[in-house]
Structure 1
Amino acid sequence: MQTSPAHAAHHDDREIETLEEFDAVVPARGTLTGFRVQSVDLTDRTRELLATDTSGAVFLGCPMRENAAEKLRADGALVFPPVPHLPFDPYRGLLYSPDELFDGLEKGYEQTPDALAYAWFQRTRADGDIYASMLRSIHDDAVSDALDELLRGARVVGVMGGHAMARGTREYAGAARLGRELARAGFTLATGGGPGAMEAANLGAYAAPFEDTMLDEACELLAGTPSFTPSITDWARAAFEVRARRPRGGNSVGIPTWFYGHEPPNAFASHIAKYFANATREDGLLARSNAGVVFLPGAAGTVQEIFDNATPNYYESRGEPTPMVLVDRAHWTEKLPTWPLLQALARERSMESRIALVDRIEDAPAALKRLAV
C-alpha cells in the first residue's frame, strides 16, 4: 500500500481534500464548478476564490473569509461552514494518523483528540439530539469515503482478535510475526485498530521494512507495559517510543470505534479509520477484507466477527466467498466451539473450500494462500 502521496491519484477527480490539491486544480482547470472541497483551510485563498467560478461547487467545513463565502453563495455554491467547539472534524477528507489522535499525549491521554472525541460521544449518544447524531453520521460517512479511496485496488487481509492479548506474551509475538509476513507478501493489513491482537498485527506490518531483529526489540520494549490498563498514557507512550526509535515503518490500516472508546486505538496502524457507529465499522472492516480474514483467539467480539463474515460468504452476497482462517484449534473447538458451527454452515456450499482451522499462527499465511487458489 502506498502512503498519502498516492492518495490524490485514487479519489474522485472532483474532490479536493488538501490545500495542495486546491492549488493544483485552480490554475489547471480555471474553475471549481462541480467540485467538492472537503475540510480545506481556504482562509489564505480569498483571491483565488473571488476570481474563480464556483457555480455548483460544494464546500464542506472549509474555513474561509466572509467575503469569499458570500461570493461562493452568490455563484450558487453550497457552503457548509466548519462546526465550532467539536473535538473532531465531521467533514474530514483523510483518515486519521496516530500522531493526530494522540496529539498532546505528553499531558496525559485524557487531553488527546481521541479521548476528547470519546468524551463528546459519551455526552451526546443518549440525549436524542438530532444535531449530534447528524454530525456523527456525516463524520462516519466521510471516514468511509476516505477509507475506500485509500484501499482502492489493494489486496486487503483482515486480522481479527481480542483486545486482551497482552504484550510480552508468546501469542502477541506470534500475531506480530503474522502481520509482518502478510505485509511482506504484498497484502494490505487491516485490523480492528485496538489493543491486543490488533495492535500486534499492526506492529508486525510496521516492522515489515526493517530487519527481523527490529520486531524482537520492539516486543521487548513494549512488554514493560503489557496492557492499556491501568494507564492508557503509559501504554501509548511505549508504542510511540518504538516508533521514535525506528520511524517510517510499514503501512497498515486500523478500524476502531468510539463505541468501545475505553479501548484506545493502537499507534502502529499508519492509517486509522475511526468510527462512532460500531455496526458501520464492523461491516466495513470485513467487507473491505477482499483477500481474506484471519481470526486469532478472541471472545464475544471475535465470535461476532466470524459470523458477520460468514453470512455474506454463505449467501455469496458480495460475490465469490473470501478465505476465512481460524487460528488455535483448542480455542475454536473447545473453549468457544465456533468451528463446528462454521463447518456445518459451509457444508456443500462454495464457501466450504474457503474456510480453514490451523493450530498455530505461523500456519495462517500458508492456509490463506491455499484457500485463495
Structure 2
Amino acid sequence: MAHRDNAESEIETLAEFDHVVARGSLSGYRIQSVNLLERTFALLSADTSAAVFLGCPMEPDAAAKVRADGALVFPPVPDLPVDPYRGLLYSPEELFASLAGGYEATPDARAYAWFQQTKADGDVLSSMLRAIHDDTLSDALDEHLRGARVVGVMGGHAMARGGADYRGAAELGRTLARSGLTVATGGGPGAMEAANLGAYLAPAPDEALPEALELLAKAPSFTPSVTEWAQAAFAVRERRPDGGTSVGIPTWFYGHEPPNAFASHIAKYFANATREDGLLARSNAGVVFLPGAAGTVQEIFDNATPNYYASRGEPTPMVLVDRAHWTEHLPAWPLLRSLARARSMESRIALVESVSEVPAALAAMNTS
C-alpha cells in the first residue's frame, strides 16, 4: 500500500467509501462506522487486505470475505446509546433527537444513564467501549480543527441567560468568530453557551443577538427543566437557521450539565480529564477565562502548567476577565502572575476588566 497519512486512510462516510472502492482497493484503509449492508458486491470485489472495519454493519458473506482477505473486523456493539467507533463529531440535532418527548428521551440523556449504570457495575467491556469512543472523538476533533486558529472560552455553567454577563460573553464569541477565529468552549450551559451563541450568530446582523437573548430569557437556566432550556435554544436556531460554526467539548461525567445547542460541532466525552486537557491543548490562539468557580480555576492552572514547562514554542496566551473576581473573590491572578514571572512569560498573560478588552489583548499577544 502506498504511504498516506492517517486522515487519508480513514473512511467515515458512505460517499468516501464509494469514492475509494471505485479505485478497486480498500487495502490499508480504516472504515469507521459506515453502514455497508448495501455494499456487499463492492466488498466482495475489492481488495480489503490489511483493512480495518470499525463498527460497520455488513452482510455475513461480505464479513467472511473481508476476514479471509486479512482484514480486521470489529463488529457493531448492539444496544448502546452511543457508537464507540464513530468517525465524526456530534451535532446538536443528533444529541437532542426526540427532545419533543422530553430531555430524558434524547440520546444525550440515555448516554448519561448508560454511563452511570455501567460505571456503577464496573463492567470492563463498557469501560473499554467508553475509552474507544473518546479516542475516536479526539481523532475527529483533530481532523475538524486542522489548520484552524482556535480560541478557548472558559467560564461557569451557572451564568443565567438574560443577564449582562451572558450578553457580554455572547458578544465576545461573536467578535472572535467574525475575526476568523474558531471559538471552542466546554460545550455546556452558562458562559460556554453564551460564547457558542455569539459564534452561531456571527454571520447574522447585529440585531439577531438581542432577539435571541429575548427568546432565551424565557428559560434562563437548565434547571428545573433541561427540556424547556434546550427548546428555547432550538427556537433561536429555527429563527436563524444559517448559523456560524464553533466547537463545544462537554462531558457525560457531569450529568447535570447538558450540552448547549449552539456549538455546531460537539465532541462529548465520557472522561472529563481527557475532555478538559484536549480543549485547552487545542486552543492554539489563546484561552479566555470568564468569571467562574472551581472548574474554571482548575482550567486556569491546567493551562498554565504546560505553558510553564514548555521547552519550545510560545506559551498559549491567557486572558482573565474581571479584575475583582480573579484578584479578590478567587485570587488566581496573583499566583498565575508569579508563575509567569518565574518563566519570563508576563507578556503572554493579561488581566482585563471586561470582555470588550479581550480581542485587543489576544491580538497583541499573538503578534508580539
TM-score in same-fold range (> 0.5) = yes
The gaps in structure 2 that reach 5 residues or longer are: none
Give 3-state SS (helix, strand or coil) of 1:258's partner. Answer: coil
RMSD of the TM alignment (CA)?
1.0
* Cα deviation 1:269-321 (Å, max 9, x = unaligned): 00000000000000000000000000000000000000000001111157320
Query: Does residue 162 of structure 2 align to residue 159 of structure 1?
Result: no
- The 2-side partners of 1:317 and 1:236 are apart by 44
Contact 1:31 1:54 (8 Å CA) reproduced: yes
Please identify, of 278-287 and 308-317, the stretch whose mean Cα deviation from structure 2 is larger: 308-317
**Shift >2 Å, 4+ stretches:** none
Query: Does residue 96 of structure 2 align to residue 70 of structure 1?
Result: no
Pick the aligned partner of 1:235 from 229, 236, 245.
Answer: 229
Contact 1:98 1:269 (8 Å CA) reproduced: yes
Q: TM-score, normalised by structure 2?
A: 0.97
2:270 paired residue number: 276
1:205 paired residue number: 199
Give 3-state SS (helix, strand or coil) of 1:59's partner. Answer: strand
Pick the aligned partner of 2:280 from 281, 286, 292.
Answer: 286
| 1:72-151 correspondence runs (5 A) | 72-151=66-145
Pick the aligned partner of 1:17 from 3, 12, 22.
Answer: 12
- The 2-side partners of 1:249 and 1:23 are apart by 30
Letter in 2 for 1:329: R
1:4 paired residue number: none
Quickly say closer, same or farther: Cα 1:237–1:281, change in 2 above 3 A. Answer: same
The number of residue pairs the alignment matches comes to: 363
Letter in 1 for 2:230: A
Query: Does residue 42 of structure 2 align to residue 48 of structure 1?
Result: yes
Give 3-state SS (helix, strand or coil) of 2:8's partner. Answer: coil
* Cα deviation 1:76-120 (Å, max 9, x = unaligned): 100100000000000000000000000000000000000000000
* Cα deviation 1:186-235 (Å, max 9, x = unaligned): 00000000000000000000000000000110011101110000000000
Letter in 1 for 2:298: Q
- The 2-side partners of 1:96 and 1:51 are apart by 33
* Cα deviation 1:300-353 (Å, max 9, x = unaligned): 000000000000111115732010000000000010001011011111424221
The gaps in structure 1 that reach 5 residues or longer are: 1-9
Contact 1:11 1:149 (8 Å CA) reproduced: no
Give 3-state SS (helix, strand or coil) of 2:207's partner. Answer: helix
- The 1-side partners of 2:94 and 2:242 are apart by 16
Give 3-state SS (helix, strand or coil) of 2:253's partner. Answer: helix
- The 1-side partners of 2:313 and 2:81 are apart by 39
- The 2-side partners of 1:317 and 1:141 are apart by 27
| 1:355-370 correspondence runs (5 A) | 355-370=349-364
- Structure 1 residue 12: Cα displacement: 1.2
- The 2-side partners of 1:229 and 1:44 are apart by 45
* Cα deviation 1:29-60 (Å, max 9, x = unaligned): 21000000000000100010011110110000
Q: TM-score, normalised by structure 1?
A: 0.96
2:335 paired residue number: 341
Letter in 1 for 2:93: D
Give 3-state SS (helix, strand or coil) of 1:99's partner. Answer: helix
- The 2-side partners of 1:217 and 1:318 are apart by 46
2:51 paired residue number: 57
